[in-house]
Amino acid sequence: MIIKFIFSLLMLFSVSAFAISLNECNKMSAALNARTPMKIDSMTTVKSSYCSDSKPKPTYVYMMETSLSSLDINATQNIQKNGWCTDPTQRKLLNEVDVKYQYRTQVGVYLGETRINSRMCN
């Protein structure tokens, strides 16, 4: 659901079907942030998002809060990579932006982060 929402924003703001600017990424982020906090599952909530000016394309960053006290980052990244790389809608978005998830506990303790980019799908 969240990915389809972001992809629809991408299509709305994108001037070119082949590239997204940092400004367009920031517009997507602002639209998502207007809907946060957004519950993903019983343990995870999207708290906010932002874009960083990574070259050659923006990085879309999800700030995730979880009720878990520890996280298997490698397993989490593999699950995320599978979702991004196999779903056609998510894969199109991944061609336009890199994605980073930052995980923290509910009291703000940093647990780790994962990064997903289109090169990982090959």
**pLDDT, tens digit, 9 for 90 and up, residues 15-61:** 344 467 888 888 888 888 898 888 877 777 888 888 888 766 788 88
Number of helical H runs and strand E runs in the chain: 4, 5
Instruction: Tell me the two tokens of residue 80.
Output: 């995320």
Pick the CATH number of 2-121 from 2.40.50.1020, 3.30.2020.10, 3.30.70.120, 3.30.300.250: 3.30.300.250
Could you tell me the pLDDT band of residue 84, with boundaries at 50, 70 and 90?
A: very high
pLDDT higher than 70, residue 71: yes
pLDDT for the residue numbered 3: 52
Q: Which residues contact 25 (CB under 8 A, 6 or more apart)?
A: 51, 58, 60, 97
pLDDT for the residue numbered 117: 92
Higher pLDDT, residue 6 or 115: 115
pTM score: 0.73
pLDDT for the residue numbered 87: 92
pLDDT for the residue numbered 66: 87
